[in-house]
């Protein structure tokens, strides 16, 4: 059984102006997401700015999220690292915290070979008992997890259950599913490709869009699963201008700006991320209003 089906939000981490974590705002975001149809929460991923957190902060946020969500929806902890030992440590601690699964990105900067990727993911998965989702995002990491490597991991390691595919390469996704079939829980890592990946056997999306349109993102998946493919596609296409605005600067700059515009105390980004350019912020605000997002 999949950890979740539908739309999971890759949730931001709110910060106070001094850079410390704003847990009260975090609670408000979690409650809003659950109340508006989000099917799962991915905490401390790319969008959560985990790469700027200390290990202690990273794990504190995961623990807090698990405790506050309190089984209302599944919680998946982002525990990847470019160091295998660090990824093992974070994964083991996340498991102790009670996560329903872990999301492990391919090691960045090192540019491991496919053999190295296989060994890295296998060692991390073997160190825990919770299910693990691979995260393939070459644009951030500099390395692509080949379909053959994903298939071998899915076949060889019982608790590697799926992949968040953010390559944008539909042909690659098709090959993954041709090699893995029903053994692989496929999730879109791109909000503009939810329906295409669902059509190839996907189970849902791990979404940035869900921050500002949680019910609509959920509904894309639900419509598709219920056989209303045209309805899902129409909603996907309607959301494209908003999705484009949410990615007109590097994630999570626009989505954190969007959350602040909606009245959530998302706070600033941690350096090296910086504030959104005024013209891009106006574009984002315009598309949010056009879709019906309530701004403060």
Catalytic residue ranges? 135, 164
CA 111 to chain centre: 22
202's CB contacts (< 8 A; 6+ apart) are 186, 187, 188, 194
* Backbone CA torsion sign across 219, 229, 100, 132: negative
Please provide residue 15's backbone torsions phi and psi, each rounded to the nearest 5 degrees.
Answer: -120, 150
Structure token pair of residue 110: 């090192």
Secondary structure (3-state) at 83: coil
Backbone region of residue 109 per phi and psi (left: phi > 0; alpha: psi in -120 to 50; beta: other values): left
Closest CA to 121 of 108, 109, 133, 137: 133
CA 288 to chain centre: 21
Integer Cα distance of 103 and 80 in angstroms:
7
Backbone region of residue 44 per phi and psi (left: phi > 0; alpha: psi in -120 to 50; beta: other values): left
69's CB contacts (< 8 A; 6+ apart) are 30, 34, 41, 75
Residue 1's CB is within 10 A of a number of other CB atoms, namely 7
């Amino acid at each position: 059984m999949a950890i979740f089906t539908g739309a999971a939000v890759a949730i931001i981490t709110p910060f106070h102006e001094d850079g410390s974590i704003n847990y009260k705002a975090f609670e408000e975001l979690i409650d809003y997401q659950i109340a508006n149809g989000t099917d799962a929460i991915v905490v401390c991923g790319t969008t959560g700015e985990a790469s700027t957190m200390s290990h202690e902060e990273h794990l504190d946020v995961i623990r807090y999220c698990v405790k506050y969500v309190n089984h209302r929806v599944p919680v998946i902890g982002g525990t990847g690292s470019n160091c295998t030992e660090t990824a093992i440590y974070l994964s083991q601690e996340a498991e102790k915290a009670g996560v329903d699964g872990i999301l492990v990105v391919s090691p960045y900067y090192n540019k491991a070979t496919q053999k190295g990727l296989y060994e890295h993911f296998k060692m991390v998965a073997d160190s825990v008992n919770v299910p693990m989702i691979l995260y393939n995002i070459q644009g951030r990491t500099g390395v692509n997890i080949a379909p053959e490597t994903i298939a071998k991991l899915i076949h060889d390691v019982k608790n590697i259950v799926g992949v968040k595919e953010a390559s944008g390469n539909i042909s690659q996704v098709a090959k993954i599913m041709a090699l893995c079939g029903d053994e692989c829980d496929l999730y879109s890592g791109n909000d503009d490709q939810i329906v295409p990946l669902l059509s190839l056997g996907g189970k849902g999306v791990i979404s940035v869009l869900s921050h500002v349109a949680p019910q609509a993102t959920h509904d894309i998946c639900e419509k598709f699963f219920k056989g209303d493919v045209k309805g899902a596609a129409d909603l996907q296409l309607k959301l494209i201008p908003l999705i484009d605005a949410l990615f007109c600067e590097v994630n999570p700059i626009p989505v954190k700006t969007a959350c602040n515009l909606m009245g959530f105390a998302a706070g600033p980004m941690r350096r090296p991320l910086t504030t959104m350019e005024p013209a891009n912020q106006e574009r984002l605000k315009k598309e949010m209003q056009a879709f019906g997002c309530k701004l403060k």
